[in-house]
Amino acid sequence: MCHRGCARVSIPPGDFPGFVPTFQIDKYLYDMRLSEETLQEVSQRFGKEMEKGLGADTNPTASVKMLPTFVRSTPDGTEDGDFLALDLGGTNFRVLRVKVSDNGLQKVEMENQIYAIPEELMRGSGVQLFDHIAECLANFLDKLNIKDKKLPLGFTFSFPCHQTKLDESILVTWTKGFKCSSVEGKDVVSMLRKSIKKRGDFDIDIVAVVNDTVGTMMTCGYDDHNCEVGLIVGTGTNACYMEEMRHIDLVEGDEGRMCINMEWGAFGDDGVLKDIRTEFDHEIDMGSLNPGKQLFEKMISGMYMGELVRLILVKMAKEGLLFGGRLTPDLLTTGHFETRYISAIEKEKEGLQKAHEILTKLGLEPSHEDCVATLRICQIVSTRSANLCGATLAAVLRRIKDNKGVERLRSTVGVDGSVYKKHPHFARRLHKTVRKLLPDCEIRFVRSEDGSGKGAAMVTAVAYRLAAQHKARQKILEALKLSHEQLLEVKQRMRIEMEKGLGKETHAEAVVKMLPTYVCSTPDGTEKGDFLALDLGGTNFRVLLVRVRNGMRRGVEMHNKIYSIPVEIMQGTGEELFDHIVHCISDFLEYMGMKGVSLPLGFTFSFPCQQTSLDEGILLKWTKGFKATGCEGEDVVNLLKEAIHRREEFDLDVVAVVNDTVGTMMTCGYEDPYCEVGLIVGTGSNACYMEEMRNVELVEGEEGRMCINMEWGAFGDNGCLDDIRTEFDLAVDELSLNPGKQRFEKMISGMYLGEIVRNILIDFTKRGLLFRGRISERLKTRGIFETKFLSQIESDCLALLQVRSILQHLGLESTCDDSIIVKEVCAVVARRAAQLCGAGMAAVVDKIRENRGLDFLKVTVGVDGTLYKLHPHFSTVMHETVKQLSPKCEVTFLQSEDGSGKGAALITAVACRIREAGQR
């Protein structure tokens, strides 16, 4: 720029010597005026530096350190209690007592005392320093008459530290004139604890060590629950924000969030800002106590801003552009142009007069134009500071927005520091930059009052609240956690109930009915032929054609069609229902081009039946919304046969009536000859297995085996599980359609788990342990918490973000902490269900083993049902439980495909095979 070389002499007489119009200053300081593009660029670079600081591999070389603070939650307004705070960050330190009360009116009362730290202590031994602090603390407690109380304390320690826990902080280096020996590399909390213990006249609970930036965020967070960023622009500058745990490589665990102390003053120490730093920035750095360090801070903070202005004034005066080229010793002395002068000069009204006073104090004789020029220089320096600060802050907010995956971010930044609070335009310029760079966010800025004192108490109050709430929740969930002994007991009781159901004398009052199915053999692989299957178990009804091949081309090929059953038919007469079924069969045969063919048929009829032979099932009672008259107490095979005769179109050989659990076992039995147990864990739950005929007292004959449909959902209906049923199980049972019935099923099956979870969440909320104690109307609605949500919420790959969106879909406004709690409740309920199911299964496989007098049994269980198939952990937990409770059995679980359709056909195929063998 040509004017930099101008000699003073060339100014024509009569002009103001050494005056530069403001546009020329703008030109002179061109490099300090940053365009919006440049700010976007700085913002993006800072975003990359944040990533580096968070990554395990990149953190060691990162300049922005992104230190975990172990503060995992911001205030929610329900904090309560009496807390102490200690604030050490300079030559004075403060002790505070902070009373936080929440009786509907959040309020905070504070008392504090300032104590000096004598010069000799700042340079003495660490033990002496902490003994002095302990003594001042004792003095404070004495004054307030609270020495006998053991109060929780938060410690603001504003020096570079490495934190490993909330209450452990290792000093990296002393700064700000402190030089106490043997503290660096040590945990300051344990040093303070030792000094207190040594005295023995009071006891306190040091809960948290906090950095002042975090304190700032927490103080504002008490009044504004959206506050998730803390910013300080004072002598120094720094920021912190709430980051998702899954992105913090340096700390174990992926759940929830943690506040990150960014230490952003060091941004640029690795050279990423070299194209933006000016000659004045280089000069300031060279003259500082820590050259090459904290380069970003040196462009922004109060400690350096005044000095930047002084360097510019000196250079311009030397070039004859100001003060008529005069320099004074004062102007040439480092630190003589203070940052507070900038605030004074930039004030709207008296700014120019202030400039005149300040420049005069520095020994200059400023002209009006010199004052105008100085004002412009101050504006440029302070605007750059606000702009740079806005650029990095925008990067932080953008990151929070991306983490949350929201369209528009609404967030609050808590701010403290003399530059932000005292400079007349800094705050406004900062806000403007953030709005420009993030048009899709609504950001509030809240001035923090006493972040380092009140903030430390707030961190402690939150930690206390979280610990107390955690304890209360664990106590409630304890009842749902079953020990190994309890599970063994459940297994033994199931065994007792099975014996009762099988015995002739005890069967009538037994709750586990152990119904004979007349299925006496599993597939052996030689089955072949074409079979029809009907599957009636709900509002839809299927007809299937199943082709079973043997030999080389062994396998099953299926064709099916689904028909609906209108409500008026479900609730009309039995004749109408069975005529409708036959009409559908006729349509299917026509569709398959098989009219007039007579095929063997298997009928899956998933309603409670009493069987007296394979092809006879007497309907005990309708369930699932069916009410067709004239069916209960009748043989459903007969009803079907009569309807076929009424139609006079085709004839079918109804070979077997089957329950879906048995179908499941048979389907898997076709693949695996060891399969002798069927299990369903879906909407409902049930099991069946091959029992020795000699133990089935309800059926004549001692030879061979028969499949027993256990109807195990009713286990516990006689009160034998009362000691493990919780208040939540009772609540779910009471409001169900069949109170007192199917108690075991209500603890393990898909139809009820969501309801158990919902009841626990309501209880937590009523106790103020969740959703900030607010129960939404939606949460009071029965059945909203579908079991599929349990599967989704617990799936490992799901970030808490998605858990929150599921909760939002349910109309539940949840914080991050709420989401973790909901996830934990789901896990506890599902785990118990899987363990109970496993205990029941263990009873079954051990009975088979003992029936056969074996020391070791290898057996396969065919399983079906949505809960088993879709829940991410149910099957694993259930398998582990069976293994622990039945160590002498090697149990394999095989997922069944279409037990109710294919299973019915296979039972028919096996029956036909046996019938043919008997005829030969």
Instruction: From 384, 452, 458, select the one nearest 419 (Cα to Cα).
Output: 384
Task: State yes or no: is 385 an active-site residue.
Answer: no
Q: What share of the chain is helix, strand, coil (3-state, %, to 5)?
A: 45, 20, 35
- Asked if 815 and 743 count as a contact pair (C-beta separation under 8 A), the reply is no
92-102 and 81-88 as β-strands: parallel, antiparallel, unpaired?
antiparallel
294: left (phi over 0), alpha (psi -120 to 50) or beta: left
CB-CB contact of 85 with 141 (8 Å): no
Closest CA to 215 of 534, 459, 410: 459
Between CA 284 and CA 388 the distance in angstroms is: 17
328 touches 318 (CB < 8 A): no
CA neighbor of 378 nearest in space, from 308, 299, 429: 308
Token pair 């147990």 in the structure block, residue: 677
- The full DSSP string for 547-587 is EEE-GGG-EEEEEEEEEE--HHHHTSBHHHHHHHHHHHHHH
Q: How far apart are the C-alpha atoms of 630 and 768, rounded to whole Å?
A: 53
Contacts of 433 (CB under 8 A, 6+ apart): 39, 386, 387, 389, 390, 391, 394
Q: Which of 606, 663, 599 is nearest to 636 (CA)?
A: 606
- Burial-class residue 57 by CB neighbours within 10 Å (0-12, 13-18, 19+): exposed
The DSSP 8-state label assigned to residue 482 in this structure reads P
Tokens coding 358 = 């300040």
- Separation between Cα atoms, residue 865 and residue 683, nearest integer Å: 7
CB 32 within 8 A of CB 378: no
CB 270 within 8 A of CB 63: yes
CA atoms of 732 and 730, how far apart (whole Å): 6
The active-site residue out of 195, 343, 367, 606 is 606
SS3 assignment, position 889: strand
Polymer length in residues for the chain: 920
CA distance 299 to 31: 13
Backbone angles phi, psi at 68, to 5 degrees: -70, 140
Residues 6 or more apart from 600 whose CB is under 8 A from it? 529, 531, 532, 652, 653, 655, 908, 909, 911, 912
606 is catalytic: yes
Distance CA 146, CA 595 (A): 95
Asked if 745 and 684 touch (Cβ cutoff 8 Å), the reply is yes
Catalytic residue list contains 435: no
Task: Find the helix or strand (DSSP H, E) in which 258 lies.
Answer: strand 257-261
Distances (CA, A) of 843 to 410, 724, 807, 819: 55, 18, 38, 37
> Which of 257, 399, 542, 705 is the catalytic position?
542
Please give the Cα distance from 645 to 643 (Å, whole number).
5
Which of 222, 226, 223 lies closest to 241 in space, CA to CA? Answer: 226
- CA dist 385 to 206, 298, 301, Å? 37, 10, 7
Q: The tokens 């302990």 sit on which residue?
A: 134
Helix (H, G, I), strand (E, B) or coil at 153: strand
Evaluate whether 590 touches 658 at the Cβ level (below 8 Å). no
Among the options 660, 729, 733, 846, which is catalytic?
A: 660
Cα–Cα distance between 48 and 397 in angstroms, integer?
Answer: 14
Beta bridge pairs of residue 918: none
What's the one-letter identity of residue 184?
E
Catalytic residue numbers read 542, 606, 660
